[in-house]
Amino acid sequence: MSSPATTPGLVRPTPERQGQRAPRMVVTRTPLRISFAGGGTDLAAFYERDYGAVLSTAIDNYIYVTVKPHSPLFNEPIRLNYSRSEEVHRIDELENDIARECLSFMDMEPPIYVSTVGDHPASSGLGSSSAFAVGLLNALHAYRGERVTAGQLAEEASHIEIDVLGQPIGKQDQYAAAFGGVNFFRFNPGGGVTVEPLRPSHGALSTLFDHILLFWTGHQREAGAVLREQEQNTTSHADSLLRMRGHAHELQELMSDGPVDPAVVGRILDDGWQLKRSLASTISTDSIDHWYQSALEAGASGGKLCGAGGGGCILLVAPPERHDAVREVLHDLVEVPVTYEVYGSRVLLPAGD
């Protein structure tokens, strides 16, 4: 097991220049994540009272970001392409909150072109917004010829989403996207985060993911409304959150101690899901409850809804011989092939970064 590393709070970026000419175009790839246990304890309303803990893994579904100079042949100095296209003259005119604040934070000078595309739609419950923030910051640093650590990327993205934009979210998604791999994250009072990479054998992880099924519900819900209610309920649901934090510790021990029993993982996820459903009124729906119960009856040992709740993806753990039965009862949902990803946000272009 690797020794845990603690990242401090945000420090305004002053990375060393590498001496090379800044590239003309940068492309980054940043993984999405599956949170197995502890979600909700990464909110400041909880960890400032004690500490939070989350165990999660990066997955092989990604957000891609491209940054390049914008040609003077166009009429606008700034173009941003995502699910729509924005052409503006000043950064503060951008409507995409994360892009606007990342560009402002990095003091970027037009003309500039930014484009992003993801493997999933927004509000999938897989941390796509934070992955975009991490991937864009990574691309902007590389565009300026700077190298940064995963910890710095995670803290910068957290600062932008939580402090600048006032989103009622925690820090787990930014850290999962920046670090990659399977990690136990401890969120400490004062904002510091301890990162403990877990090193289960390749065979153990492969076996676990051979038991995992992921389904897209087709329902999208912004996390903010769900998390605001959950944040307001933190004190009254402290016992449930403590038990959910305990699940993260259980999985940490399980994944650090040899073979991983997928059935045990499934039961821990199920216990966590039953607790999570009580944290806010909008976390689950009748449809989600029906799908989940049908999967259990078809042979799944457990699972959960990914993300804040209300929609997104359903994660299930089931023996491979029961997968077809689970697929049959969830035939109206879209299955998402998934496995783990060892790398966090990476610069793909220029090659070798």
Condensed to tens digits (0 to 9), the pLDDT of residues 162-197 reads 999 999 999 999 999 999 999 999 999 999 999 999
d(CA 141, CA 153): 10
Helix and strand numbers (H, E) in the chain are 11, 13
Name the more confident of 246 and 223: 246
d(CA 343, CA 64): 14
- Return the closest-CA partner of residue 126 out of 34, 63, 2: 34
- Return the closest-CA partner of residue 52 out of 174, 184, 141: 184
d(CA 183, CA 202): 15
Q: Are 26 and 66 in contact, with CB atoms under 8 Å apart?
A: yes
Q: How confident is the model over 295-319, as pLDDT tens digits?
A: 999 999 999 999 877 889 999 999 9
What pLDDT, on the 0 to 100 scale, is given for residue 1?
45
In one-letter notation, the amino acid at residue 69 is: P
d(CA 41, CA 187): 8
What pLDDT, on the 0 to 100 scale, is given for residue 18?
44
Name the more confident of 323 and 257: 323
Q: Are 301 and 347 in contact, with CB atoms under 8 Å apart?
A: no
Longest CA span, the chain: 61
Q: Are 133 and 161 in contact, with CB atoms under 8 Å apart?
A: yes
SS3 173: helix
Name the more confident of 195 and 220: 195
Q: What φ, ψ does residue 346 adopt, rounded to 5°?
A: -130, 150
d(CA 281, CA 267): 23
Supply the pTM of this predicted model: 0.92
HEC sequence for 315-345: EEECCHHHHHHHHHHCCCCEECCCCECCCCC
- The residue-averaged pLDDT of 132-150 equals 97
Structural domains in the chain, CATH included, are 5-349 (3.30.230.120)
